[in-house]
A = this chain, B = another copy of it.
Amino acid sequence: MKKETRKEEIIRVAAQLFKQKGYSAVTMRDLAKAMDMQAASLYNHINSKQAILQDIILEIAEAFTEGMNVVISESNSSVEKLNALIALHVRIAINNPEGLAALNTDWMHLEEKLDYYLQLRNDYENNFRAIIVEGIKNDELKPVDVEVILFSMLSTLRSLYLWIPKKDAIKRQQLLEDLTTVLIQGINK
Residues of chain A touching chain B, judged by Cβ–Cβ distance below 8 Å, are 20-22, 24-25, 79, 105-106, 108-109, 135, 139-142, 144-145, 147-149, 151-152, 155-156, 158-159, 162-163, 167, 174-175, 178-179, 181-189
Contacts and interface: CB of A to CB of B under 8 A. Distances in A.
Contacts of A155: 155-156, 158-159, 162
Given A109-B25, A151-B159, A156-B156, A142 B174 contact: no
The quantity of this chain's copies bound in the complex is 2
Contacts of A79: 188
Contacts of A135: 187
Given A142-B188, A142-B189, A152 B22 contact: no
Contacts of A162: 155
Contact of A142 (B108, B139, B142, B187): B187
Given A139-B189, A151-B163, A184-B188, 18 more contacts: A21-B108, A22-B106, A22-B109, A140-B188, A141-B187, A141-B188, A142-B185, A144-B178, A144-B182, A147-B163, A148-B182, A151-B156, A152-B156, A152-B183, A155-B155, A155-B162, A159-B159, A186-B187
A189 to B, nearest CB: 5
27 contacts: A20-B108, A21-B108, A21-B109, A22-B22, A22-B24, A22-B109, A24-B24, A79-B188, A105-B105, A139-B189, A142-B186, A142-B187, A142-B189, A144-B182, A145-B174, A145-B175, A145-B178, A147-B167, A149-B187, A151-B163, A152-B156, A152-B182, A182-B186, A183-B187, A184-B186, A185-B186, A186-B187
Contacts of A183: 152, 186-187
Contacts of A158: 155, 159
